[in-house]
Amino acid sequence: MPLRYNAAWNTAGTSIAEVRAAVRTLLAQAGHDPGHRPSQDAQLIVSELVTNALRHAPGPGGLALEVAPDAALLRVTVSDSSPRPPELRAHDAHRVGGHGLCLVAQLCDRWHTIARETGKQVVAHFHLRKPAD
C-alpha cells in the first residue's frame, strides 16, 4: 500500500517548517534517509509549491503526499483557491524571487495543473531512488 499524508489550511498558520518535517517523516517511513538528496529535494519541491499556494491564493488550501508502494515515487498535490495556473518564468539571475517553480520543474519528472471548480491543484511527480534494504 502507498504511504500517505494529508494536510489542509484556511488562510494563516501554515508552517513551511512543519510541511518539510511531514515530507521527511513520510519518506523516512518509506525507508529514505532524511539526510540524503532525494529527501532534501522532495522537501524543497513541497515547500516551494506550498509557499506559492499560500502567497498567491486567498483562502483554503491543502497538501497531499503519496509515496508509491515500492517507495520509488512521490506524488505531491497542492490545492488552492486561485483559478490562475502557476507561471513558469524565464530565468533571470537579476530578479529577486520567482525562481521556485523553475526549481520544481528542474527537480520533478513531471508536473501539471488541474483546474477545479474552486481553484486548482498543482501535481508534481518526483522519482526517488528505491531505498536500500
Q: Is residue 37, in this structure, part of any structural domain at all? A: yes
Instruction: Report the CATH number at residue 43.
Output: 3.30.565.10
What is the gyration radius of the CA atoms in the chain, in angstroms?
14
Q: Is residue 102, in this structure, part of any structural domain at all? A: yes
pTM of the entire predicted model: 0.90
Cell of 69: 508502494
DSSP 71: S
Does the CA dihedral 6-18-100-41 come out positive or negative?
Answer: negative
Residue 133, pLDDT > 60, answer no
Convert the pLDDT of each residue in 85-128 to its tens digit: 998 777 777 777 777 888 999 999 999 999 999 999 999 999 99
Range of the domain at 79: 3-127
Convert the pLDDT of each residue in 23-76 to its tens digit: 999 999 999 999 999 999 999 999 999 999 998 887 899 999 999 999 999 999
- Sheet containing 73-80, strands listed edge to edge, beginning at the edge strand earlier in sequence: 3-9, 61-67, 73-80, 119-127, 110-116
Q: Is residue 133, in this structure, part of any structural domain at all? A: no
The whole-number pLDDT of residue 93 equals 74
Q: Is residue 96, in this structure, part of any structural domain at all? A: yes
